[in-house]
Structure 1
């Protein structure tokens, strides 16, 4: 315990000393001190809030439900390293109560008649299709500015993120409301980012982490002697995502046409209404009226709202095929993924397409 605390203090000290200089290197004409300042202060507060999970579990004065939840998470964390061969470090062996439902809010923006995201580039993570804010108010402010510029905008609350091993990432209070199995999947997903991460390729990184979380969860259930998931929720999720991907494809075709602005705007609105109608038919004809996606589908829709779909699972079938090709051996699989990641972008995508076609 003392050793862990000493390490955390050392990391915090390094962060405090080096980050101001690092911040100056980050700044350029396209960024602002205010934006990076909130990133620095938000990460700093998160680091300060960490405490060892073992200490929380052993403290009888802490909430019993929290202690039980963290005890389950501790088992999942040990499984991740021992059986899934994910990084064996202090990440997710710490806990931080952040006092809010999400750790960050991501702002997505696209032009009114395009699905090309407004991207933002960072030295560590590379280029991503959003800007993250530790304050919901700040995210709303950024969204308002983008709307004034004529952009389609969406804000998404995020429960967890990975610092890619730069810091010991904690289990956050924002991760706890989904239940023990969902918490385990989040741990598997975020640790996967530490295992393999390719700069400037969100689709690759998120699809890889999503495959690890899905296969890892299947193995985690088997390890605990639980029956396999019947797949209904995952099947419904896949069907829902496919509806959105089909809508994206139709919108891309629409936006390529030389139509007047008002006609384009009307056709765009019709596509979103078609999406809602297709969803309602699927829900009522195949899901027995299950309304789990109603809140999302009947909220205002625009390009930015559907932008994240496909980023997180586009190449999951390809990684599934690669896992089978490597004999379902995790270490061999990670080695093969790393080789893919070193390929030039065009070759990497071609290899993934070839893998997906064999699944």
Structure 2
């Protein structure tokens, strides 16, 4: 009997060791992410701590009050279970805390994906340690992928943990801050496995609709902020539409150059990208920040293009769905997705 028990125990230990060896990179990454998240959560302070602090700027206190009002609205008007979310804030002291790496194949508009337990396939990888993000960026570039490295201002644990607010987002405009909170809270309510792009599109769509709904129910309290937000949305939709309209042209280009040498592919791609960037910079925006962004040294590649598809590629479809299937009743649409696609 003891011999059988020892054999079973040895078999279990062997299986665990094999799993650890095979999945070592995933285990190491998961540990780094958990350590980063829990460190931020551990050092976060209640929002009231900052509201009561005489040294904390009044302008930022107003933003904290806005976060509280948005959360309250999400609970009372949308039925979100958001009581414990964003109750605390981590003071970044102006520093960046998170970096996100995305990648795409060089001659096709297809994202490189990572596979995670429970979540399924995911088209981005986040880091709390910048050097790890830079390391992955370089590895992917060496393999020939188009890569994009960007910072992130928030994350969602899909309702598993009580996510803290990061202080840098208090510098956002009122509309952008409200939309960010609604976006992340939507992830807590709705999640579709192996559908990262649609999840992000849905959270973006609901985030915008709920922000407009929030402002419209404030009896003119945020009239100036609401007008500014609508102008920002107009600029954003114009930019997103321009990029969405160009994506089929890139698809067509990549099909045409399939049989060419790598050098010739690169040349054709380079000239097409340059033409795209010139036309992009000719768009007239209401907000100067969009013009400044497009005139900056941002690297435009397939990963850049797909990031716009990831967050806005399904917006027209969702708008049509709201119009035809739900008769412009955003709460009815929310209820449908909550019932059919519960978050993890």
Question: The TM-score by the shorter chain falls in which range?
Answer: 0.7 to 0.9
Structure 1 gaps, min length 5: 1-23, 343-359
Closer, same or farther: CA 301–62 of 1 in aligned 2, 3 Å: closer
Structure 2 gaps, min length 5: 1-17
CA contact (8 A) 2:189 2:338 kept: no
Note the C-alpha offset of 1:33: 4.1
User: Does residue 166 of structure 1 match 2:160?
Assistant: yes
Moved more, 241-250 or 215-224: 241-250
List aligned pairs for 1:172-321, cutoff 5 A. 172-224=166-218, 225=220, 226-227=222-223, 229=227, 231-257=230-256, 258-283=259-284, 287=285, 290=288, 292-296=290-294, 298-321=297-320
Closer, same or farther: CA 189–256 of 1 in aligned 2, 3 Å: same
Report the equivalent of 1:73: 67
CA contact (8 A) 2:108 2:254 kept: yes
Q: Distance in 2 between matches of 1:190 and 1:162?
A: 6
Note the C-alpha offset of 1:100: 5.0
Note the C-alpha offset of 1:223: 1.8
Q: Distance in 2 between matches of 1:244 and 1:155?
A: 19
CA contact (8 A) 2:205 2:315 kept: yes
Tell me the alpha carbon deviations over residues 258-305 of structure 1, each in whole angstroms, 9 at most, x when there is no partner. Answer: 22222211111111111122123323xxx4794624434543322222
Note the C-alpha offset of 1:101: 4.1
* Structure 2 residue corresponding to 1:47, chosen from 15, 36, 41: 41
Could you tell me the TM-score, scaled by structure 2's length?
A: 0.82
Tell me the alpha carbon deviations over residues 164-210 of structure 1, each in whole angstroms, 9 at most, x when there is no partner. Answer: 01111111113211133321111100000111111110122111111
Secondary structure of the structure 2 residue equivalent to 1:310? helix
CA contact (8 A) 1:27 1:33 kept: no
What is the CA RMSD across the aligned residues, in angstroms?
2.7
Q: Distance in 1 between matches of 2:286 and 2:158?
A: 41
Closer, same or farther: CA 295–316 of 1 in aligned 2, 3 Å: closer
CA contact (8 A) 2:186 2:203 kept: yes
Closer, same or farther: CA 315–67 of 1 in aligned 2, 3 Å: same
**Bigger radius of gyration among the two:** 2
User: Does residue 120 of structure 1 match 2:114?
Assistant: yes
Q: Distance in 2 between matches of 1:280 and 1:177?
A: 26
Report the equivalent of 1:88: 82
Note the C-alpha offset of 1:27: 7.7
Tell me the alpha carbon deviations over residues 87-119 of structure 1, each in whole angstroms, 9 at most, x when there is no partner. Answer: 232101221223454442111122322222211
Note the C-alpha offset of 1:71: 1.5
Report the equivalent of 1:332: 332
Closer, same or farther: CA 29–263 of 1 in aligned 2, 3 Å: same
Note the C-alpha offset of 1:150: 1.9
Moved more, 189-198 or 58-67: 58-67
Q: Distance in 1 between matches of 2:119 and 2:92?
A: 23
Could you tell me the TM-score, scaled by structure 1's length?
A: 0.79
